[in-house]
């Protein structure tokens, strides 16, 4: 299945033979304090910058519902985010991994985003569209 939107991802996760838990890291976009004038201009035009994790959560696809529902919930926390990185964990049969099972993997994911190691995750913008970074 081609995943071009977050809701495509939810559909794919729900169709897996084993129950899934999705790991989500929301990242804000910004510039380092020492950004050059060229970097600032590019960022103002919508290019470049750096992504910094601002919040994270793990949920089953059923707990998420839709991307719109997820955004509504995320926006209640007051963090300005630009991208949500997503990874999945498989359970066994109908039993999804628990939040306790997911916790170390979610922390590893946050740490990976902090250092720009994002190739193992699917990034989605605030519209729910999968995006290419880099």
Q: Where are the domains of the chain?
A: 6-125
> How confident is the prediction along the chain (134 residues), in pLDDT tens digits per residue?
689 999 999 999 999 999 999 999 999 988 888 889 998 998 888 888 889 999 999 999 999 999 999 999 999 998 899 999 999 999 999 999 999 999 999 999 999 999 999 999 999 999 999 999 86
Q: What global pTM score does this model have?
A: 0.90
- Chain centroid, CA 96 distance in Å: 19
Alpha carbon distance 78, 63 (integer Å): 21
Check residue 33 and report its DSSP letter.
Answer: T
Alpha carbon distance 22, 41 (integer Å): 35
In this prediction, residue 66 carries a pLDDT of 95
In this prediction, residue 2 carries a pLDDT of 86
In this prediction, residue 27 carries a pLDDT of 96
CA-to-CA dists, residue 116 to 23, 34, 40, 95, 129, angstroms: 17, 18, 19, 32, 20
CA-to-CA dists, residue 28 to 15, 49, 83, 113, 118, angstroms: 31, 10, 7, 11, 14
In this prediction, residue 46 carries a pLDDT of 80
In this prediction, residue 123 carries a pLDDT of 97
For the chain, how are helix, strand and coil distributed in percent, rounded to 5?
35, 30, 35
* 81: its two tokens: 């985010």
Sign of CA dihedral 74, 50, 100, 121: positive
3-state secondary structure of 56: strand
């Amino acid at each position: 299945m081609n995943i071009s939107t977050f809701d495509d991802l939810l559909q794919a996760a729900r169709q897996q033979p084993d129950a899934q838990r999705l790991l989500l890291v929301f990242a804000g976009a910004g510039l380092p304090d020492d950004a050059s004038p060229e970097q600032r201009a590019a960022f103002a035009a919508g290019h470049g910058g750096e992504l910094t994790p601002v919040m994270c959560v793990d949920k089953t696809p059923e707990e998420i519902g839709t991307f719109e529902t997820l955004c509504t919930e995320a926006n209640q926390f007051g963090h300005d985010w630009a991208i949500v990185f997503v990874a999945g964990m498989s359970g066994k049969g109908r039993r999804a991994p628990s939040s306790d099972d997911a916790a170390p993997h979610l922390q590893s994911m946050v740490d990976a985003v902090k250092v720009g190691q994002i190739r193992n995750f699917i990034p989605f913008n605030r519209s729910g569209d999968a995006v290419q970074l880099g």
